[in-house]
Amino acid sequence: MIAAGIVSGFLAGATQLYFPQAVGRVVDEGRLSVDFALFIFGVLCLGGLSRFGERVLFSSASQSLIARLRSSTFDSILRQEVGFFDEERAGDLTSRLMGDAQALEEVLVGQVVAAMRSLVLVGGGAIVLLWMSPLLTLVLVGVLTPFVLFVNRLGRRVAELAHDYQTNTGDMASIAAEAISGIRTVRASDQEAFMSQRYRTAALGNLAIGRRTNFVYGVVRGVSVVGPEMLVVILVGMPQLSAGAVSTGGLAAFAFTGMLALGAVRDLAECSTEVRRASGALKRILEVLGREPRIPVGEGKGAEAMTGEVVFEGVGFAYPSRPEVPVLHDLSLAVRPGEVVALVGASGAGKSTLAGLLLRFHDPLAGRILIDGADSRTLDGRWLRRHIGFVSQEPTLFALTIAENIRFGLDHVSTAEVVNAARAANAHDFITGLPQGFETRVGERGVQLSGGQRQRIAIARTVLKDPRILILDEATSALDSESESLVHEAVERLMQGRTTLVIAHRLSTIRSADRVIVLDGGRVVESGTHGSLMRQGSVYAELVENQIFSA
């Protein structure tokens, strides 16, 4: 399509360049024959068809490229390690996908078409002008050169402003995404005015950048109104006409051709300005598209099966966003296949960090994690996570149907398997009681369901996955008694025969664990059963006495 568009653009430019020659011939001959008029009409029709083909072909090609660019950028975002999302804002990434890509599309569809035609007019016009009058052409180039240099300098400033504008637009998108996704917290805290002011401040910043950009655009357009071609014709061409060095028709043809060529130069200057504006958007997209994830997806080894043995050896870790704040220090822990281990400790002790490392959301900075004897760094992250189930206090559901949420990531499973998983998670009765049953849409983040219902759907998803290792972030800690009973029963059923790490908040869960691991300051400070640790009367007993855990 691009090649065909170039041919169409060449024909469109050539037909435009022919028209001044036709006018000059008519002026010199003093008449217009019917045959020549029909020929001119045919040339104009060819030019119209070429303009039509040029626009359609380039627009289609540009839209196709932008669609591929958006898809590739989104794929690149999804490949990044979890630490990348700790440092980047969701709204800004969305802005790069949508707003920045849209800015590129506008330039490709509108400006590239004009630029291709303008290049033909400039190049072809220069050849025609030199053929008609080398002297007038050289004078015209001398007058035009300062204009081109001035506009090029302005274009660099536009590129800088455009990058600032797109970055600020990303800030606005992030603020809006935070406010909308957290609307319940915003409303409950009566902070609508605060969020509105944050957004307004960012919008005013964007307005200021936009005004500076518009001023530069205005200067470019103002300078482009000056017509150096007519000045050359009047000051140099008229004396040559008086001296008989050029005919009236020839001077008219030169003037019209010069107008076309210089008009194309002006268009190229504006196109250059627009392209430099879009280069800011492209730079932001390429920052994501060209980034290599620190933890590659789909690389490493795997095995047909997993026994579920987990060993942490001297693990040290700090989050990339806070490298100066260590979270884990020389932590060692071994979990046997099928063992249920409760992780306890005060907030910030490192419990959730251990879970994230096991899922290979991050890699340890020191030491290693062994899964069935293999260093987790050598394992394919996708293979590893296929064998690990994770149920958190706040499960993530998507704006899909209940069946699609249960089946999420497991498209090959049958409807019967989905139903059986729902039964195992104590979710079948409430699902079938809904008007649309398993085809009920749950809304964004599952807001149309209660907390207990969301938990049971998340558990059903994990049942269907049938993982060898299970990580539970106390799924019953924030539920009412009825929901807690149903979810607790489903969780007990899910844990059977699986290596399980429980981030424990309830004494009932801790008592039933095979072993309790007490974390403090990123280290294992105690290990044993609930009874043995209570008898020791150390850190764990103090946590229980201070009612860190609920009954």
pLDDT bucket at 296, cuts 50 / 70 / 90: confident
DSSP secondary structure, 326-341, as one string: --EEEEEEEE-TT-EE
By the 8 A CB rule, do 261 and 121 touch?
A: yes
Q: Which fold has domain 310-545?
A: Rossmann fold (3.40.50)
* Helix locations, 334-380, DSSP H: 351-358
Per DSSP (E only), the strands in 24-110 are none
Cβ-proximal residues to 310 (8 Å cutoff; 6+ apart), any chain? 333, 334, 335, 358, 369, 370, 371, 469, 499, 501
Our CA angle for 27, 29, 30, nearest 5°, is 65
By the 8 A CB rule, do 5 and 115 touch?
A: no
Q: For residue 333, what pLDDT is reported?
A: 93
What are the tokens at 26?
Answer: 């008519």
Flag the least confident range among 262-271, 288-297, 489-498. Answer: 262-271
Averaged pLDDT, 253-273: 70
Q: For residue 192, what pLDDT is reported?
A: 79
- Does residue 191 have a pLDDT over 70? yes
Q: What's the rounded Cα separation, in Å, for the pair 324 and 399?
A: 38
By the 8 A CB rule, do 288 and 73 touch?
A: yes
- Any idea what DSSP says for residue 293? P
Tens of pLDDT, residues 444-455: 767 788 888 888
Give burial (CB, 10 Å; 0-12/13-18/19+) of 234.
Answer: exposed
Q: Which three-class secondary structure state does DSSP give residue 401?
A: strand
Tens of pLDDT, residues 50-98: 888 877 888 888 888 888 888 888 888 888 888 888 777 777 788 787 7
Average pLDDT, the chain: 80
What are the tokens at 499?
Answer: 């290596």
- Any idea what DSSP says for residue 304? S
- Does residue 107 have a pLDDT over 70? yes
CA–CA distance from 458 to each of 105, 174, 427, 490, 516 (Å)? 40, 28, 10, 11, 25
**In the chain, pLDDT over 70 holds for what percent of residues?**
83
Tens of pLDDT, residues 523-549: 999 999 888 888 887 888 888 877 666
The ranges assigned to domains in the chain are 2-173+206-289, 310-545
**What pairs with residue 528 in β-bridges?**
516
Q: What's the rounded Cα separation, in Å, for the pair 146 and 100?
A: 33
Cβ-proximal residues to 502 (8 Å cutoff; 6+ apart), any chain? 340, 341, 342, 343, 472, 474, 509, 513
Our CA angle for 438, 444, 445, nearest 5°, is 85
Q: Which residue has the higher pLDDT, 243 or 419?
A: 419
Q: For residue 509, what pLDDT is reported?
A: 77
CA pseudo-torsion sign 112, 114, 115, 120: positive
Q: What's the rounded Cα separation, in Å, for the pair 168 and 205?
A: 7
By the 8 A CB rule, do 457 and 449 touch?
A: yes
Tens of pLDDT, residues 368-422: 999 999 999 998 888 888 899 888 877 888 888 889 889 887 878 888 999 998 8
53-57, 237-241, 268-272 — most confident range: 53-57
Which of 311, 306, 307 minimizes the C-alpha distance to 370?
311
Tens of pLDDT, residues 300-331: 777 777 888 999 999 999 988 888 889 999 99
End-to-end, the C-alpha distance of the chain in Å comes to: 69
By the 8 A CB rule, do 246 and 20 touch?
A: no
- Does residue 475 have a pLDDT over 70? no
Q: What is the CA radius of gyration of the chain?
A: 35
Question: How far, in whole angstroms, is CA 265 from its chain's centroid?
Answer: 36
pLDDT bucket at 499, cuts 50 / 70 / 90: very high
Q: What's the rounded Cα separation, in Å, for the pair 309 and 339?
A: 9
Question: How far, in whole angstroms, is CA 180 from its chain's centroid?
Answer: 18
Cβ-proximal residues to 379 (8 Å cutoff; 6+ apart), any chain? 300, 301, 302, 360, 371
Q: What's the rounded Cα separation, in Å, for the pair 472 and 490?
A: 12
Q: What is the pTM of this model?
A: 0.68
Q: For residue 119, what pLDDT is reported?
A: 76
Q: CB atoms < 10 A from the CB of 441, how many? A: 15
Q: For residue 311, what pLDDT is reported?
A: 95
By the 8 A CB rule, do 478 and 393 touch?
A: yes
Q: Which three-class secondary structure state does DSSP give residue 536?
A: helix
Tens of pLDDT, residues 355-367: 999 999 899 999 9
Q: CB atoms < 10 A from the CB of 94, how many? A: 17
Cβ-proximal residues to 220 (8 Å cutoff; 6+ apart), any chain? 151, 154, 269, 270, 273
- Output the CATH code of domain 2-173+206-289: 1.20.1560.10
Flag the least confident range among 80-89, 119-128, 233-242, 401-410. Answer: 233-242
Q: Identify residue 242 by its one-letter amino acid code.
A: S
pLDDT bucket at 516, cuts 50 / 70 / 90: very high
Cβ-proximal residues to 6 (8 Å cutoff; 6+ apart), any chain? 116
Q: What's the rounded Cα separation, in Å, for the pair 53 and 5?
A: 7
Q: What's the rounded Cα separation, in Å, for the pair 90 and 75?
A: 15
Cβ-proximal residues to 439 (8 Å cutoff; 6+ apart), any chain? 401, 402, 403
Pick left, alpha or beta for residue 298 (phi over 0 → left; psi -120 to 50 → alpha; otherwise beta).
left
What are the tokens at 258?
Answer: 């010069």
By the 8 A CB rule, do 426 and 483 touch?
A: no
